[in-house]
Amino acid sequence: MLLHLDFASDVPIYLQIRNQVVLGIAEGKLQTGEKLPTIRALSEECGINMMTVSKAYQLLKQEGYIQTDRRSGAVVCHNIAQSGPQQETLKALKLHLSELRLAGLSLDDTLALCKTLYEEEAL
Amino acid sequence: MLLHLDFASDVPIYLQIRNQVVLGIAEGKLQTGEKLPTIRALSEECGINMMTVSKAYQLLKQEGYIQTDRRSGAVVCHNIAQSGPQQETLKALKLHLSELRLAGLSLDDTLALCKTLYEEEAL
Amino acid sequence: MLLHLDFASDVPIYLQIRNQVVLGIAEGKLQTGEKLPTIRALSEECGINMMTVSKAYQLLKQEGYIQTDRRSGAVVCHNIAQSGPQQETLKALKLHLSELRLAGLSLDDTLALCKTLYEEEAL
Amino acid sequence: MLLHLDFASDVPIYLQIRNQVVLGIAEGKLQTGEKLPTIRALSEECGINMMTVSKAYQLLKQEGYIQTDRRSGAVVCHNIAQSGPQQETLKALKLHLSELRLAGLSLDDTLALCKTLYEEEAL
DNA sequence: GTGGTCTAGACCACA
DNA sequence: GTGGTCTAGACCACG
Residue nearest to nucleotide E7 (CA to C1'): D49
Which residues 25-84 in chain B have a CB closer than 7 A to strand F?
48-52, 55, 70-71
> What angle is formed at CA B19 by the lines to CA A10 and CA A104, rounded to 5 degrees?
95
Three-state DSSP string of A35-96: ECCCHHHHHHHHCCCHHHHHHHHHHHHHCCCEEEECCCEEEECCCCCCCCCCHHHHHHHHHH
Within 10 angstroms of residue B83's Cβ, the number of other Cβ atoms is: 10
Q: What is the pLDDT of residue B85?
A: 75
Residue B82, strand partner residues: none
Mean pLDDT for the stretch of residues C87-112: 93
pLDDT above 70 for C121 = no
% chain C with pLDDT above 90: 68
Mean of the per-residue pLDDT values of chain A: 89
Read off the DSSP letter of residue C35.
B
Residues of chain D found within 8 Å of residue A7, distances taken between Cβ atoms: 69-71
Read off the DSSP letter of residue C47.
T
Q: Which residues have a Cβ under 8 Å from the Cβ of C13 and sit 6 or more positions away?
A: B70, C5, C7, C48, C52, C56
Q: Which residues have a Cβ under 8 Å from the Cβ of B111 and sit 6 or more positions away?
A: A111, A114, A115, A118
Answer yes or no: are the C-beta atoms of B36 and B66 closer than 8 Å: yes
pLDDT above 60 for C123 = no
Q: β-strands B66-69, C66-69: how paired?
A: unpaired
Residue nearest to nucleotide E5 (CA to C1'): D12
Among A82, A95, A116, which would you mutate to test the B interface (most chain B Cβ atoms within 10 Å of its Cβ)? A95
Answer yes or no: are the C-beta atoms of A63 and B63 closer than 8 Å: no
pLDDT above 80 for A72 = no
Residue nearest to nucleotide E2 (CA to C1'): B73
Q: What is the pLDDT of residue C8?
A: 87
Among A62, A98, A109, A121, which would you mutate to test the B interface (most chain B Cβ atoms within 10 Å of its Cβ)? A98
Q: What is the pLDDT of residue C71?
A: 79
Alpha-carbon separation of residue B62 from A87, A104, B21, B65, C8 (angstroms): 29, 18, 14, 8, 12
Q: Å from D52 (CA) to E9 (C1')? A: 14
CA atoms of B59 and B66, how far apart (whole Å): 9
Q: What is the pLDDT of residue A60?
A: 93
Answer yes or no: are the C-beta atoms of A36 and A76 closer than 8 Å: yes
C49 touches strand F (CB under 7 A): yes
Mean of the per-residue pLDDT values of chain C: 89
CA B29 to chain A, closest CA, distance in angstroms equals: 13
Among B36, B68, B70, which would you mutate to test the C interface (most chain C Cβ atoms within 10 Å of its Cβ)? B70
Dump pLDDT digits (tens) for A94-112: 999 999 999 989 999 999 9
Q: Which residues have a Cβ under 8 Å from the Cβ of B31 and sit 6 or more positions away?
A: B76
Q: What is the pLDDT of residue C53?
A: 95
Which residue in chain B is spatially nearest to C47 when comparing CA positions?
Answer: B71
Dump pLDDT digits (tens) for B81-105: 667 678 889 999 999 999 999 998 9
pTM above 0.75, yes or no: yes
Task: Find the nucleotide nearest B68 (Cα to C1′).
Answer: E3
Please provide the size of chain C in residues: 123
Residues of chain B found within 8 Å of residue C48, distances taken between Cβ atoms: 71
Are the beta carbons of B81 and A103 separated by less than 8 Å? Answer: yes
Q: What is the pLDDT of residue B55?
A: 92
Residue A116 touches partner D, C-beta closer than 8 Å = no
**Helical axes B107-121 vs A107-121, angle rounded to 10°:** 150
Q: What is the pLDDT of residue B81?
A: 67
Q: What is the pLDDT of residue D70?
A: 83
Mean of the per-residue pLDDT values of chain B: 89
Residues of chain B found within 8 Å of residue A78, distances taken between Cβ atoms: none
- CA dihedral for A38, A41, A47, A49, sign (positive or negative): positive
Mean pLDDT for the stretch of residues B111-116: 96
Residue C109 touches partner D, C-beta closer than 8 Å = no
Q: What is the pLDDT of residue C13?
A: 94
> H-type helices in chain D, by residue range?
13-26, 39-46, 50-62, 87-102, 107-121
Dump pLDDT digits (tens) for A25-37: 998 899 999 999 9
pLDDT above 70 for B63 = yes
% chain A with pLDDT above 70: 93
Which residues of chain D fall below pLDDT 70? 1, 81-82, 84, 122-123
Q: Å from C38 (CA) to F7 (C1')? A: 47
Q: Is D33 helix (H, G, I), strand (E, B) or coil?
A: coil
Q: Is C9 helix (H, G, I), strand (E, B) or coil?
A: coil
Chains A and D, touching by 3 or more CB pairs within 8 angstroms: yes
Phi/psi at C111 (5° precision) = -65, -40
% chain B with pLDDT above 90: 57
**Extended strands (E) in chain B:** 66-69, 73-76
Residue D109 touches partner C, C-beta closer than 8 Å = no
Return contacts of B113-116, CB within 8 angstroms, 24+ apart: B113/A85, B113/A90, B113/A93, B114/A93, B114/A97, B114/A110, B114/A111, B114/A114, B115/A107, B115/A111
Dump pLDDT digits (tens) for C38-94: 999 999 999 999 999 999 999 999 999 999 887 778 999 877 766 767 888 999 999
Q: Which residues have a Cβ under 8 Å from the Cβ of D69 and sit 6 or more positions away?
A: A7, A8, D75
CA atoms of B62 and B54, how far apart (whole Å): 12
Alpha-carbon separation of residue D1 from C33, D4, D21, D55 (angstroms): 48, 10, 9, 19
Answer yes or no: are the C-beta atoms of A92 and A46 closer than 8 Å: no
Q: What is the pLDDT of residue A68?
A: 87
pLDDT above 60 for B123 = no
Read off the DSSP letter of residue D35.
B
Q: Which residues of B7-34 are buried (b: 16+ CB within 10 A; e: fewer)?
A: eeeeeebbebbbbbbbbbbbeeebeeee
pLDDT above 60 for A2 = yes
Residue nearest to nucleotide E15 (CA to C1'): D71
Q: What is the pLDDT of residue A25?
A: 93
Mean pLDDT for the stretch of residues B57-83: 84
